[in-house]
Amino acid sequence: VVVDSMREYLLEKESSSVSSVFTVTGFNFAGRGQSSGMAFIMLKPWEERPGGENSVFELAKRAQMHFFSFKDAMVFAFAPPSVLELGNA
């Protein structure tokens, strides 16, 4: 299953930045469906992942490059926008 491969990559190859991964199958932001899914990634605190290469944007770039190799799915890694009125919280 694609979400299992995503989880495995993030927890093993990106373990210096990723604390946990929560995956959902059968649903995405476009609706529900058997071939839909999404993942939410919790990063470690900044003190545990120093350096620009451990930022959310760099992690998303590396993950996107890895996910491009998936033949069974189109996977997109991106950082959601900040919450309005809360800055970059």
Give the pLDDT confidence score for residue 20 in this predicted structure: 97
Per-residue pLDDT of the chain (89 residues; tens, 9 = 90+): 888 999 999 999 999 999 999 998 887 777 777 778 889 999 999 999 988 999 999 999 999 999 999 988 888 898 887 777 766 65
Domain membership of residue 74 (yes or no) is no
Give the pLDDT confidence score for residue 36 in this predicted structure: 80
Domain membership of residue 19 (yes or no) is yes
Give the pLDDT confidence score for residue 89 in this predicted structure: 56
Domain membership of residue 78 (yes or no) is no
Contact 76, 36 (CB under 8 A): no
Domain membership of residue 58 (yes or no) is yes
Domain membership of residue 84 (yes or no) is no
> Which CATH number does the domain housing residue 44 bear?
3.30.70.1430
Domain membership of residue 36 (yes or no) is yes
Q: Which two tokens stand for residue 36?
A: 């839909």
Domain membership of residue 85 (yes or no) is no
Domain membership of residue 52 (yes or no) is yes
- How does 5-21 read in b/e, with b if 16+ C-beta sit within 10 Å? bbbebbeeebeebbeeb
Domain of 40, in residue numbers: 2-67
Number of folded domains in the chain? 1
Query: If you ran DSSP here, which 8-state letter would residue 30 be given?
Result: T
Give the pLDDT confidence score for residue 83 in this predicted structure: 75
